[in-house]
Amino acid sequence: MKNFLRNLLGFPMSHYKKALRKNVQKFYHRAIRKAVNDAQRKLWLAAGLAAEDFVTTLLVSEGKDDGELFKQRILNKTMEKKQIRTIIRTMLKVYLSALLIAVTNYKEEILTKTSMNEQDFLKSWCSVFDYKQEDMHVFDGILLPAYRRNGLNGLLQETGKMIVDDFYQDSSELTQEEITLFEGVLLNDVASLFNYVK
C-alpha cells in the first residue's frame, strides 16, 4: 500500500507501526502455538493478517488511492500516543469481530475443515485474538445484534460508526459509497479466510 502509515497523526510513523506490529505478532504466535491442525493455523493467521491490513489502511493519513476506504475523512490528530495504542488494539478487535460475524455463511464448512464444533471455534477465536471483556461486549452487545436486526448492512454501519468515531475528525454516519467499499473489503477477507481452509 502506497505511503504506508505516512505522517500518522503528526508523530513518527515508526511509533505506530511498532504498536500495530506488536499486537498482531502476538496474534500470530498464539495462532501457531494453539492450532492443532493446519486448517486452524491457516485460519487464525489469515484473520490476523486481514485485521492488520485493515487497520493499516485506516492509519494512512494521506496519499490514498481513489476508491480506498474512508479516503475523504481526516484523521483525528489530537490523540495522545497512549490513546492511539489503545485505539489500534480496539480497532483490530472490532474488525476481527465483524469478520467473525460475516464468515457465518461458511460456518459449517469451516467447522468441518478445522475439526471444531461451534463452541470450541468461538472459544479458540477469542483465545488466539486475546478478547477481553470489552471486546466481548462489542461482539455480543453491539455488532451481533446489528447483524441480526439488519443483516450485513447493519453490521457494516455499526462497525463503521465505531471506526470513524475513534479515528476521524468527522464522525458522521458512513455514506453509501463508504458502505459499498467497506462491504467489498470485508467480503473479500471473508472469502480469503474460507479459501485458506478449503
Cβ neighbours around 48 below 10 Å, total = 23
In a domain, 161, yes or no: yes
- Express each pLDDT in 139-155 by its tens digit: 999 999 999 999 999 99
In a domain, 1, yes or no: no
Cβ–Cβ < 8 Å for 131, 93: yes
In a domain, 171, yes or no: yes
Cβ–Cβ < 8 Å for 138, 97: yes
In a domain, 158, yes or no: yes
Q: What is the pTM assigned to this prediction?
A: 0.86
- Express each pLDDT in 8-27 by its tens digit: 444 444 556 677 888 888 99
In a domain, 45, yes or no: yes
Tally of domains within the chain: 1
Show the low-confidence residues of the chain (pLDDT under 50).
1-13, 66
Instruction: Write down the pLDDT at residue 62.
Output: 52
Instruction: Write down the pLDDT at residue 39.
Output: 93
Instruction: Write down the pLDDT at residue 60.
Output: 66
What is the extent of the structural domain holding 152?
8-197
In a domain, 3, yes or no: no
Instruction: Write down the pLDDT at residue 65.
Output: 57
